[in-house]
Amino acid sequence: MNDTIATILKHRSIRRFSDQPLADSQLKEYIRAGQMASSSSFIQAVSVIRVSDSANRAKFAKLAGGQPYVESAPEFLVFCADLSRNRDRIRRDVAAEEPDFSWTEQFIAATVDVALFAQNVVVAAESDGLGCCYIGGIRNDPEQVTELLALPDLVYPVFGLCLGYPDQDPAAKPRLPIEAVFHQNAYPERGETDVVLDEYDAEVADYYQRRTNGKLNVTFTQQMAKQSASQTRKFMGEYIKKQGFNQH
């Protein structure tokens, strides 16, 4: 196995960082790595905002649900889906008619662009020994994020990312069995993967028991039931539409 794959396979989220800062040149190398990811029809629908202002960092930590590492991590980046840049350029230089980025398709394409870009940043950073933690919690309050970062329409914050040198060494969480995820020629019949998923439920329960000295005993399915009941962020549809995406 080569070093790149070894790096990817040992990924775990890091939530405690040393004080060692990143060099600007280093951070820019990771952003360049992000830019080299593929982009749907080459739209390059990504903007990254580095939040260095400490008052705003504190606000982000709070709105993300009280995640203190958002405030203290050496770097905190917000990854945005951005069709505004292209729209403005087309308006200025080309358009006979107003370009239309209001369809669900373009919402998907821009969102995918952001995630491909960010994952390159993460793998690049981890290959240099850094640790990362995605912060989906910024979607708790997208309106406030939009205000804090002065995001125009056709831009929305998809997730944040904490970045720095690790000051902890957590174990990787066990993933779904590959048989539950990887299929040949067709999606499996209902029930076909029950056995491996039952085994996985037991494995996850065991993982949490060991990690919490027996305090937490929860299967993957139980965890997902709780998660689905709590984290619907029902305001997201309206917010996304207000930003000009996903209108129809």
Interaction residues for its own copies, span 103-122 (CB under 8 A): 103-106, 108-109, 111-112, 114-116, 118-120, 122
Does 196 engage in binding with its own copies (CB under 8 A)? Answer: no
CA of 47: how far to CAs of 31, 161, 188, 193, in Å?
A: 10, 13, 38, 39
* Of 18, 20, 36, 168, the one binding its own copies by CB under 8 A: 36
Reported residue count of the chain is 248
First to last CA, the chain: 45
132-151 binders of its own copies (CB under 8 A): 132-134, 136, 139, 149-151
Does 58 engage in binding with its own copies (CB under 8 A)? Answer: no
Does 19 engage in binding with its own copies (CB under 8 A)? Answer: no
Does 23 engage in binding with its own copies (CB under 8 A)? Answer: no
Q: Which is nearer to its own copies, 147 or 167 (CB)?
A: 147
CB of 90 to its own copies, least distance (A): 5
Does 178 engage in binding with its own copies (CB under 8 A)? Answer: yes
Does 15 engage in binding with its own copies (CB under 8 A)? Answer: no
In 3-state terms, what secondary structure has residue 44? coil
69-108 binders of its own copies (CB under 8 A): 80, 85-90, 93-95, 99-101, 103-106, 108
Does 155 engage in binding with its own copies (CB under 8 A)? Answer: yes
Spatial CA neighbour of 98 closest among 111, 80, 83: 83
Q: Burial of 11 by CB count in 10 Å (0-12 exposed, 13-18 middle, 19+ buried)? A: middle
Spatial CA neighbour of 181 closest among 168, 170, 192: 192
Does 237 engage in binding with its own copies (CB under 8 A)? Answer: yes
Binding mask 200-229 for its own copies (x = CB under 8 A): -x-----------------xxxxxxx-xxx
CB of 30 to its own copies, least distance (A): 8
Question: What's the CA gap between 216 and 127, in Å, rounded?
Answer: 32
Bridge-based pairing state of the strands 46-50 and 131-135: unpaired
Does 44 engage in binding with its own copies (CB under 8 A)? Answer: yes
Interface region with its own copies, contact rule CB under 8 A, candidates 4-12, 60-68, 163-171, 208-216: 4-12
Q: Burial of 151 by CB count in 10 Å (0-12 exposed, 13-18 middle, 19+ buried)? A: buried
Token output for 179: 């048989």
CB of 104 to its own copies, least distance (A): 4
Token output for 90: 């087309």
Question: What's the CA gap between 6 and 74, in Å, rounded?
Answer: 25
Does 154 engage in binding with its own copies (CB under 8 A)? Answer: no
